Amino acid sequence: MTETTDTSPGWLSRTEIEDARGRLPIVYVNAVPVRVDDSGAVTSVGLLLGVAPDETISRSLVSGRVLYHERIRDALLRHLEKDLGPVALPHVPASPQPFTVAEYFPTPGITPFHDPRQHAVSLAYVVPVTGDCRPRQDALDLVWFSPEEAAGDSVQQEMSGGQGVLLRQALAHAGLVP
């Protein structure tokens, strides 16, 4: 799972997390930030922009770990604020029902999702944001795409670990062409 570095304080040291990651599935959230029109229909999708060590462009969804004693909706808010800034005004859905559960395995091919570092069970939500997005960390930028662009080959090839599939599953859930 292409994930931005999780710098939020947790209850585990980095070494301890690494240890747990090799032995337990880790609870994650994935958020697909979207702009919607007055009728709630999705008009664009926000993707984080990064540069991989080999200088290729990489795009990713908002994602991160759920901490001990943290509610899922608080984890969503925390990671959205981390990646989109403090005035993005995300509207986390009223229901805890995710549109899907992405199972990232360290072994490729078991599901469409892969994370070499860990077995992550990620609850995925489409989250409308109505404010101003100002990514503030890790030199990441946020770029908005039309649903058609988001599902297109160009964007899909810049996503890794199956996040392109998850993005298309999100579009499908929103009633769009996946």
Return residues touching a second copy (CB under 8 A): 11-12, 16, 20, 22-27, 34, 36, 38-42, 66-74, 77, 91-101, 103, 105-107, 110-112, 119, 121, 123, 126, 128, 165, 168-169, 172-178
- With respect to a second copy, which residue has the nearer C-beta, 130 or 141? 130
Rounded-to-integer distance, Cα 141 and Cα 49, Å: 5
Strand (E) or helix (H) holding 72 = helix 72-84
- With respect to a second copy, which residue has the nearer C-beta, 76 or 140? 76
Q: Least distance in Å: CB of 2 to a second copy?
A: 17
Q: Least distance in Å: CB of 77 to a second copy?
A: 6
Owner of token pair 């490729």: 108
Q: What is the DSSP string of 97-144?
A: --SEEEEEESSTTSSSEE-TT--EEEEEEEEEB-S-----STT-EEEE
